[in-house]
Structure formats: C-alpha cells, structure tokens
Amino acid sequence: MRLLRTLTEPKLRGKTCLVRVNLDIKDPSRDSLRLQATLPTLRFLFKYGAKPVIISHRGRPKGEDAALSLKRAVSLIEKELGQAVEWRENLRFDPREEANNVAFAKELAQGADIYINDDFATSHRKAASMVAITEFLPSYAGLHLEEEIKNLSHVRDNPDYPRVVILGGIKIEDKIGVIQKFENAGTKFLLGSAYRMSPEALPRHADIVFAKDGIGGNAWQDIGVKTTEEYEKVIAKAKTVVWSGPVGKAENAKYAKGSQALAAAIIKSKAFSVAGGGDTADFLQKEGLIKKFDWVSTGGGAMLAFLSGEKLPGISALEK
Ligand code: 3PG
C-alpha cells in the first residue's frame, strides 16, 4: 500500500489531491472525532504546497437533500485549519457513488493528480470514491487511515494477552464475527446489558461473560453494581482492551454509570486500549476521554468488519 506519509515536498508541491474523508457526522455544527481525524492529512498537504479537495458523504440521501450538505462540517474544518479548502458536495446525492460507477469515478478524478483515502469508516463500502476512483489516479492511504490500520491490526493480530473485548450496543449479530475471530484461550468477552441471549447462539468455545445484574427494570438499561465490579476486576488484569458499544443506554445519563465505570477501569489499567463505533466514540467524546485511550476508531461497521478479519474493499483497492 502506498502511504501519503512517504511523499515528499517535490512530489506534492502544486498537486491537486482528492482527499476522501468521513464527514458522516450527525451534528456537523459541533466538533467531533471524525472531523478531527481529517486534519492531519489536510495539514500535511498544505504544508507541502499541495491543493487538497475534500470529498465525502453524509447520511443516506435519496437524491439531493440540503439537510445533508457537507457545508457546515467543511466550514468547521476551515476554521480549524485557518484557511479555505476546496470541496465537493455530498457524493451520495448522486446514486452512482454507492454503485461504484466507473464513469462517476472518472468525473471525480478529472483535474486531480493524486487520490488519498483517509476514510477508514467507509472502507467497508464498495463505492466509486473508495474503489473505482483508484483506477484513474495514483492512490495513497492518508495519515488517519494508516493509523486506523496500524492500531486495529495490532489488537487483532498481535495483542498482548490477556485480551478483553467489551461488546455493548444492541445487536449481537453484528458482533459475532469479532467473537469468532478472537475466540482463543487468552480472550475474554464482557457483554453489555442488552444481551441475554442463549449461549448456544454464540461461538461455543468463546470465554463469554454475561451481565449478572442490571438497572432500569426488567429490560436492563445498564449493567448493575455486581456486574460492574466483576468487569472492573477483569479489565484491571488485561494487557489489551477492545471496546465496541456502550454497555448500557449511555446516551441517557441515568444509564451511563456502567460505561463510565468501565472507561475509568480501562484508563487506570496498563492495557493497550482501543475503542470504536459511533456510539462509543460519541460517549467518550461527551465524557472528554478520547485522548485517554490509545486509539479511538472512527469506524462503526468498518471497525467490526476489520476486526473480524474481513477484507475491506476501500483498503484492498489501495493494495493493488
Ligand atoms: C459509517 O457511519 O459507518 C460510515 O460513514 C458509512 O456509512 P454507511 O453505513 O451509511 O455506509
């Protein structure tokens, strides 16, 4: 894979660089992890005299939809950088983006010299701006994408054990691939309050711990005190922690205590810590804890697919 980091000033000066970033942000008028993730590559390009052109998507529009414009997010980026940046409107306003349409990719590539994929969170989608575009321009992994790959590969392939994987959120089906990939003697899975699934539905040999008590009535909205204490003890001994999904309905302060306690336990431990997924990132951002983790991934579905060992089309396209 060609890395943007290896390009020097003579190779970049005066070059127009199409930069695929992730501006799929719920509230684009506020700072966010995804917005911050765009900055290192853009700064790098400006520093070496290149001209970046931002391309991205937001939401799942059916045709043009002013409510899903990228304008606000781009103005925040410009404020952070202290200069104007060229950009194109939400790529998904054109259905050819998601269809990985070659003609659309060719149009996008027009006038550009280099393509940079810096959008890990969409790399599991076979879209024109992720895959077809690489047929038309020399293509590189941006600084953020490179970091995502490095940190997620480390916890997936080469972790220090014991490894603890915290799986929260609602849909266990989304997490089974990760359990299958990681189930081995040194990995323990701690499950959030929403899961009371019969163990037969889960990989048989995995070392899975279910919540033993919960708060918020019969349908638990958060893990209870006993479970929190048990999970804290497991985390204290971990050398690697991967966290995907708050363990309760953390968007409601009443049910955030379990996730807050586990975040504190992870930070206190000596483990290499990686968290990710939209809700987990939002929770850590709200708590002001992003920087206390070794890595917080911008990816939701992309992170789970990557950790499960799937090949992501947007990354494979850069490896050709
Ligand atoms: C995400 O939020 O996971 C990415 O931006 C991809 O968005 P999508 O799930 O709408 O393809």
Q: Kindly report, residue by residue over 96-127, the tens digit of the pLDDT.
A: 999 999 999 999 999 999 999 999 999 999 99
Cα(132)–Cα(97) distance, rounded to whole angstroms? 9
- Confidence at residue 209, expressed as pLDDT on a 0 to 100 scale: 94
Q: Tell me what the mean pLDDT of segment 24-51 comes to.
A: 95
pLDDT level of residue 278 (50, 70, 90 thresholds):
confident
* pLDDT mean over 217-233: 95
CA-nearest residue, atom 1 of ligand 1:
121
Domain spans of the chain, in order of start? 4-144, 159-307
Residue 20 has pLDDT above 90, yes or no: yes
Q: Write out the two tokens for 171.
A: 């849909």
- Which of 57, 65, 123, 312 gets mutated to test ligand 1 (max ligand atoms within 8 A of its CB)? 57
Q: What is the mean pLDDT of residues 38-56?
A: 98
Radius of gyration of the chain (CA): 20
- State whether CATH 3.40.50.1260 applies to domain 159-307: yes
H/E run at residue 264: helix 257-268
Compute the distance from residue 55 Cα to the ligand 1 centre, in Å: 14
Q: 240 pairs with which residues across the strands? A: 163, 272
Q: What is the CATH number of domain 4-144?
A: 3.40.50.1260
Atom of ligand 1 nearest to the CA of 59: 10
Which band of pLDDT confidence, cut at 50, 70 and 90, is reported for residue 171? confident
Classify the C-alpha dihedral 152-157-163-166 as positive or negative.
Answer: positive
Asked whether the domain spanning 159-307 has the same topology as the one spanning 4-144, the reply is yes
Q: 199 pLDDT exceeds 80?
A: no
Distance (Å) from CA 253 to ligand 1 centroid: 26
103's enclosing H/E stretch is: helix 102-109
Distance 9 CA to ligand 1 centre (A): 33
Specify the pLDDT at position 217.
Answer: 86
How far does residue 24's CA lie from ligand 1's centre (Å)? 7
Point out the least confidently predicted range of 47-56, 132-141, 218-227: 218-227
Q: Residue 224's pLDDT band (boundaries 50, 70, 90)?
A: very high
**pTM exceeding the 0.85 threshold for the entire prediction:** yes
- For the chain, what is the mean pLDDT? 95
